[in-house]
Amino acid sequence: MNHSIYSADRSTHLKIVVVALVAGIALAGFGISARTGSDDTWAQTRIIKAGAPIAVTNSNASVVQ
């Protein structure tokens, strides 16, 4: 068994590439299968239009009448 990637032979490099490729395909397959909903989610989004501007203030002072 080779403990260094620099001294590894051709079959060891091939094994590493194959394992990485299988792991990448498995990860992509899991990501695609984990999606929820249909492709019509963009068509179901609501559009919110801006209304009239308002002023919001905040004061910690007590009101004296």
Residues 12-43 pLDDT 10s:
889 999 999 999 999 999 988 887 655 555 55
Quick one: tokens of 47? 């559009």
> How far is residue 2's CA from residue 5's CA, in Å, rounded to a whole number?
7
DSSP string, 7-24: S--HHHHHHHHHHHHHHH
Residue 20 has a pLDDT of 96
Q: In the prediction, which pLDDT does 18 show? A: 96
Answer left, alpha or beta for residue 15, where phi above 0 means left and psi between -120 and 50 means alpha.
Answer: alpha
Confidence label for 44 from pLDDT (cuts 50, 70 and 90):
low
pLDDT for 14: 92
